[in-house]
Amino acid sequence: MCGIAGLIGPAGTDTPARLEAMLERLVHRGPDHRGTLVDGPFALGHQRLSIIDVSAAAHQPMLSADGRHALVYNGELYNYRALRDELRDAGIAFRTDSDTEVVLAAWLHWGADCLARFNGMFAFAVADLATGDWAAARDRFGIKPLHYAVVDGVLLFASEVKAITAALPAPPVFRREKLAELLLYREAIRQDLLADIHTLEPGHLLHLTGGDPATLATQHWFHVSDLPEPGRAAALARQSVDARLDALERVLQESVERHLVSDVPVGSLCSGGVDSSLMTAFACRLRPDVSVYHVDIADHSERRWAEQVARHLDIDIHYDRLTRENYLAGYIEAIWYNDAPLTHPQNVPIARISALAREHGCKVLLAGEGADEGFGGYDWRYRLRWNWLRLARRTGLLARLYRKGVFALTGLWLERPRHDFIFRAWANPTDVLEQVADGGFRAALERDCRAAYGFIQDAADREVQAAMTADYRDYIGAIVHQQDRASMQAGIESRVPFLDIEVARLAANLPRADKLSRRESKRLIKTLALRHLPRAVVERTKIGFASPAADYVRSLGDACFADGFLAREGILTPAETQALLTRDPANFTHMLYGLEFWGRMFCWGQSPAELNARFIG
């Protein structure tokens, strides 16, 4: 895991200094080594966190054997050994034991076709120093980040937005049209909150020719709608539930085994929930030296569940105690490292537990993200939606009679029951915003995924399967963004075995009944967990952290909004901010306070230390 940065275009006398400024903002991502290369139109930089082949031979930027191509790479290629053997059979020699050299050799041997062969998380860029051609790629699910901007004829790219802003000639400007997205979805779809700074989408390539940023173009090499496979889905449906359970166990265990590859100590995050506990069980069985970590939250403690897991697995767990005081002490700094307002309060505990792991000599942590999206874990997104669709289908006549009755009594024709009819609007504002706030992104994504499941006859099953697969691109985006930024804040590489491509392919093709029923969610995962964990842990109700964290933040008061970023930039007046916070504090607290502090840092240049001293104390 590392941080990458670069500039491409006409070289100026300030190019090396701009590159150094970018890398200085990425030191936390790779504190082990800094490498730079300035050659023709290219200025490439790398901050290294040494994980595989920690020798100096694997430092970056890495040059090809003939010196013509240069690579900067952030991530891990979990099947790099198998690919290296294949490339050696093709006559390619290797100088290191790193996955970095495999990425470079694979790109030069197969071109962009190598991406489909990769099983891993990555964002990398390859420069042809002879022709000036350049390309960058990002992994399927966007686990590793890559941002870019073209300013004054120069392309800037980096692992984090703050690295790009360090090289801009003027302060960046917030894109106000993103406010509706942030308030509706608690995220910006492509994290492009600042004018002219963009995010390379997951499963996409970025390339240019001749060192000329004017030729910059993007193309996709993977889309989540590629995951459903009619033949595989049919074959799985013909199997018994026990056979599919065995297949899930095998695929998940193989994924965890791949994710344990490392030349440095590896740890596991264990919240006491099903997903992280199951992953911890596999990890500790495969590699007994794995260290395990848990955040004990003062107001919503799950420690007793983590302790049950520890006793069952006969392992020790390292604990970090999270309180209101130390949450707030790390809050503003978490926004800085997150590159965006916090979409969820988990950034602070992830950063704290990552720092604890670093203190224990650990550089890699396994995390349980991705299981809910693939296996039907969000009741309110999947199971309730499936139940509603089945009900609507079975009571269609009653629904039509209901609408006709309302029309006869009131003159209003309701397409569906509504409790919030707004008399000044002809249309439901929510319906309009869902279509236009994100530029139609979600509508197109759902349409593509629904079409990919066209082989499923039952409409309700097709709808929820499409929703789960769409969330591999949509809902998971903010989660992996948070996981990457919060863990890298402490120089920790976070790995997510549930987002292994083989696990995702299996999940996308399992029958709906393996994921959810009328009353139960994540059925196959829970059944598998019973093979490895105490029943009480598997069947317990998960405790949420959002509400107490919102109370922590609200206790800061309203001083930050008076003559603050939101007010002075004409985004929201203090009265409008207060109205939103009063109406729905659980949803709006993190976003509005986060946007205020984010804007002060990223647009006004105020430092986290300055804001902490003024507002936290």
pLDDT tens per residue across span 218-258: 999 999 999 999 999 999 999 999 999 999 999 999 999 99
**CA nearest to 461, candidates 423, 408, 514, 419:** 514
In this predicted structure, the answer to whether residue 347 has a pLDDT above a threshold of 50 is yes
**CA nearest to 594, candidates 563, 550, 562:** 550
For the segment 328-347, the average pLDDT, to the nearest whole number, is: 94
Query: What pLDDT is attached to residue 75?
Result: 97
The answer to whether the beta carbons of residues 451 and 443 sit under 8 Å apart is no
Domain boundaries, the chain: 2-222, 226-548, 556-616
Query: What pLDDT is attached to residue 413?
Result: 46
For the segment 178-184, the average pLDDT, to the nearest whole number, is: 87
For the segment 296-321, the average pLDDT, to the nearest whole number, is: 92
For the segment 439-456, the average pLDDT, to the nearest whole number, is: 91
Query: What pLDDT is attached to residue 421?
Result: 45
Count of beta carbons in the 10 Å neighbourhood of residue 318: 15
Residue 34 pLDDT level (bands cut at 50, 70, 90): very high
The answer to whether the beta carbons of residues 307 and 317 sit under 8 Å apart is yes
Query: What pLDDT is attached to residue 404?
Result: 58
For the segment 457-465, the average pLDDT, to the nearest whole number, is: 92
Query: What pLDDT is attached to residue 428?
Result: 62
Query: What pLDDT is attached to residue 544?
Result: 61
Instruction: Compare 436 and 519 and report the one with higher pLDDT.
Output: 519
> Which residues are paired to 407 by β-bridges?
none
- Return the CATH superfamily for domain 226-548: HUPs (3.40.50.620)
- Tell me the backbone φ, ψ of residue 46, rounded to 5 degrees: -150, 135
Residue 78 pLDDT level (bands cut at 50, 70, 90): very high
Rounded Cα–Cα distance for residues 442 and 46 (Å): 34
| Choice among 72-81, 285-294, 373-382 with the minimum mean pLDDT | 373-382
> Which residues are paired to 135 by β-bridges?
126, 207
Spatial neighbors of 500 by CB under 8 A, at least 6 apart, are: 78, 119, 255, 258, 259
What is the bridge-based pairing of β-strands 217-220 and 33-39? Answer: unpaired
Block residue for tokens 């909004």: 561
Query: What pLDDT is attached to residue 513?
Result: 94
For the segment 560-579, the average pLDDT, to the nearest whole number, is: 95
Residue 337 pLDDT level (bands cut at 50, 70, 90): very high
Query: What pLDDT is attached to residue 398?
Result: 57
The angle that helices 546-554 and 324-338 make with each other, rounded to 10 degrees, is 90
Above pLDDT 70, what percent of the chain? 92
Model-level pTM greater than 0.85?
A: yes
Average pLDDT of every residue of the chain: 92
Helical segments of 512-584, H only: 523-529, 535-539, 546-554, 565-568, 574-583
Extract the tokens encoding 350.
């992830």
For the segment 175-201, the average pLDDT, to the nearest whole number, is: 88
What H or E segment, with its residue span, contains residue 69? strand 69-77
| 417: DSSP letter | -
Residue 304 pLDDT level (bands cut at 50, 70, 90): very high
Query: What pLDDT is attached to residue 6?
Result: 98
Instruction: State the fold for domain 2-222.
Output: Glutamine Phosphoribosylpyrophosphate, subunit 1, domain 1 (3.60.20)
Residue 418 pLDDT level (bands cut at 50, 70, 90): very low
Instruction: Compare 519 and 262 and report the one with higher pLDDT.
Output: 262
In this predicted structure, the answer to whether residue 301 has a pLDDT above a threshold of 90 is no
Query: What pLDDT is attached to residue 437?
Result: 74
In this predicted structure, the answer to whether residue 106 has a pLDDT above a threshold of 80 is yes
In this predicted structure, the answer to whether residue 488 has a pLDDT above a threshold of 50 is yes
Query: What pLDDT is attached to residue 384?
Result: 77
